[in-house]
Amino acid sequence: MNEQLQLGNIRDVLSRLEETILYALIERAQFHCNPTVYEPGRFGPAVGGLCLMDYLLRETEIIHARMRRYTSPDEHPFFQGLPEPILPRMAVAENPLIPNTINLNERIRSAYVANVIPRICAGGDDGQYGSSSVADVACLQAISKRIHYGKFVAESKYRSAPARFRSAAAAGDRDRLVNLITDPAVEEAVLRRVDLKARAYGRDGADEKARYNIDPAVAVVLFRDWIIPANKEVQVLYIRERVAKDSGT
Amino acid sequence: MNEQLQLGNIRDVLSRLEETILYALIERAQFHCNPTVYEPGRFGPAVGGLCLMDYLLRETEIIHARMRRYTSPDEHPFFQGLPEPILPRMAVAENPLIPNTINLNERIRSAYVANVIPRICAGGDDGQYGSSSVADVACLQAISKRIHYGKFVAESKYRSAPARFRSAAAAGDRDRLVNLITDPAVEEAVLRRVDLKARAYGRDGADEKARYNIDPAVAVVLFRDWIIPANKEVQVLYIRERVAKDSGT
């Protein structure tokens, strides 16, 4: 089987992405909420009428698109109309996924601003708009990658038992599909890992006293109530497209 | 005294920057050395004849300059000729430093490519040029900030005993200047902290087994042999300009 679809490798990637997300959240949590950064039009036409975070996100995606970031099946842009890559396509990039256009980034962006920022940052405004936005972009990119990696999870699971997925999808039975992709023991293990990592990373090594941290309980809740369910949502959407394609519909 | 110059606050910033540097190095260490990324002209005129990392660094600095990053006295660009900010200047930004043009970024960039990359990354090429470069930019920005923060350290130390610094600087006695700014106990504490943090952050929380890590001993060496000495070099350069300015020369 394609290396990218081996469940052990997928779990390593997911675990590694948890770390990237936690590092990024810890960086963002240094700054206040800075609601100004999320107000469209707040900085006028110079940023194209966008909010400041979206301006930085779009400009970053334009550069990364030129560096072929979004030719990779595990990367999903937040903006449309990005430029073509200036780097040649990677020779090795065999894509194990079916062609699909699943992209939950708009919802990810909204949920991040509405639910994550107020939970990890002090309220109010510290004027650090640039630094906040830079940290936001890193958070969003890492969270998006973790959530959309559900496509690889789903492809791998589908290949291991196509008939079961086909019958659940054909019956239009969403709950059965969700059941088929759910492994409570794995989810428990992820949450335990997130808790331990959040405790390790946020701590000042010298005196074992937590500083500039995000609350490990908050990190666990973000994964339990948002990142894991969104990853499963990606899996369900992908399986449906996968089955439809297999049935030639 | 200006809040930014209180030694306790400075040490908190430096300690926090250690964490940012370690997170960034750990991210970079996921990828191979990818020497292709550092070859000027390798990707042709589309990236302006630069190497790919420099291209991304310059494009990133252009966006960050627009977001007023380099109006902050603790930020130093790697490239010249960056655009003007589109954000209004921060109202709160009282700059406690004397005007100066100390910027060691060219040396930081060279040392990073020559000495850091081969120590933290597996040799060879994995084709992950974009991801490597994105991680490089985060590393360089964090390391540059940590090293140039020596300006705040120096201003704070100078204000606490101007006469001693003036006499050492007037005598052209570099060693005495270095002695005056050196606190071996603080340096030891930094290295101990870096070691503990590198051990905590690189470890997979679930099974206490190190993964995708940078060797804590390498992290300590980077701080001991490079980041701390470069920070002190910034302090010496700054003190000299500071004394010259005070003497009205």
Q: Which residues of A198-231 are buried (b: 16+ CB within 10 A; e: fewer)?
A: bebbbbbbbeeeeeebbebebbbebbeebbbebb
Distance CA A126, CA B29 (A): 33
Identify the pLDDT of residue A231. 98
Identify the pLDDT of residue B247. 79
Q: Which of residues 111-150 of B touch A (CB under 8 A)?
A: 127, 129-130, 133-134, 138
Of the partner residues B59, B138, B205, the one whose CB lies closest to the CB of residue A197: B205
- Backbone dihedral angles phi then psi of residue A215, each to the nearest 5 degrees: -60, 120
Cross-chain residue pair A86–B46, CB shorter than 8 Å: yes
pLDDT surpasses 70 at A210: no
pLDDT in tens, A22-42: 999 999 999 999 999 999 999
Identify the pLDDT of residue B89. 73
Distance CA A14, CA B223 (A): 30
Asked if B36 contacts B125 with a C-beta cutoff of 8 angstroms, the reply is: yes
Cross-chain residue pair B205–A189, CB shorter than 8 Å: no
Q: Taking residues B35-60, report their average pLDDT.
A: 94
Sorting pLDDT into bands at 50, 70 and 90, what band is A159?
A: very high
Distance CA A14, CA B29 (A): 17
Question: Mind telling me how many Å the CA of A234 is from chain B's nearest CA?
Answer: 23
Identify the pLDDT of residue A203. 67
**Cα-Cα end-to-end distance for chain B:** 25
Query: In chain A, what percentage of residues exceed pLDDT 70?
Result: 94
Identify the pLDDT of residue B67. 92
How many Å separate Cα B116 from the centre of its chain?
Answer: 13
pLDDT surpasses 80 at B155: yes
Asked if A169 contacts A239 with a C-beta cutoff of 8 angstroms, the reply is: yes
Identify the pLDDT of residue A87. 80
Residues in chain B: 249
**B192 part of contact set with chain A, CB < 8 Å:** yes
Residues of chain A contacting residue B127, judged by C-beta atoms under 8 Å apart: 90-92
Question: Mind telling me how many Å the CA of B112 is from chain A's nearest CA?
Answer: 21
Residue A159, Cβ neighbours under 10 Å: how many? 14
- B9: exposed, middle or buried (C-beta count within 10 Å: 0-12, 13-18, 19+)? middle
Averaged confidence pLDDT in chain A: 91
Identify the pLDDT of residue B164. 94
Identify the pLDDT of residue B44. 86
Distance CA A189, CA A222 (A): 15
Asked if B62 contacts B83 with a C-beta cutoff of 8 angstroms, the reply is: yes
Identify the pLDDT of residue B144. 98
Size of interface A-B (CB pairs under 8 A): 106
Assign 3-class secondary structure to chain B: CCHHHCHHHHHHHHHHHHHHHHHHHHHHCCCCCCHHHHCCCCCHHHHCCCCHHHHHHHHHHHHHHHCCHHHCCCCCCCCCCCCCCCCCCCCCCCCCCCCCCCCCHHHHHHHHHHHHHHHHCCCCCCCCHHHHHHHHHHHHHHHHHHHHCHHHHHHHHHHHCHHHHHHHHHCCCHHHHHHHHCCHHHHHHHHHHHHHHHHHHCEECCCCEECCCCCHHHHHHHHHHHHHHHHHHHHHHHHHHHHHHHCCC
pLDDT surpasses 60 at B172: yes
Residues of chain A contacting residue B56, judged by C-beta atoms under 8 Å apart: 63, 67
Strands (E), chain A: 203-204, 209-210
Structure tokens at A71: 């030719």
pLDDT in tens, B14-28: 999 999 999 999 999
Cross-chain residue pair B130–A60, CB shorter than 8 Å: no
Query: In chain B, what percentage of residues exceed pLDDT 70?
Result: 94
pLDDT in tens, A60-78: 999 999 999 999 999 999 9
pLDDT in tens, A97-142: 999 999 999 999 999 999 999 999 999 999 999 999 999 999 999 9
Which residue bears the tokens 């630094």? A131
Identify the pLDDT of residue A91. 61
Which residue bears the tokens 């920057």? B17
Identify the pLDDT of residue B203. 67
Identify the pLDDT of residue A92. 56
Q: Which residue has the higher pLDDT, B25 or A172?
A: B25
Closest to B51 (Cα-Cα) out of B124, B121, B107, B110: B110
In sequence order, what are the beta bridge partners of A204? Answer: A209
| A126: nearest CA partner in chain B | B92
Structure tokens at B78: 């790697």
Position B237, amino acid: L
* Candidate from A162-171, B55-64, B84-93, B182-191 with smallest mean pLDDT: B84-93
- The greatest distance separating any two alpha carbons of chain A, rounded to the nearest whole angstrom, comes to 61
pLDDT surpasses 60 at B207: no
Position A173, amino acid: D
Asked if A32 contacts A124 with a C-beta cutoff of 8 angstroms, the reply is: yes
Torsion over CA: B37, A28, A224, A78 (sign): negative
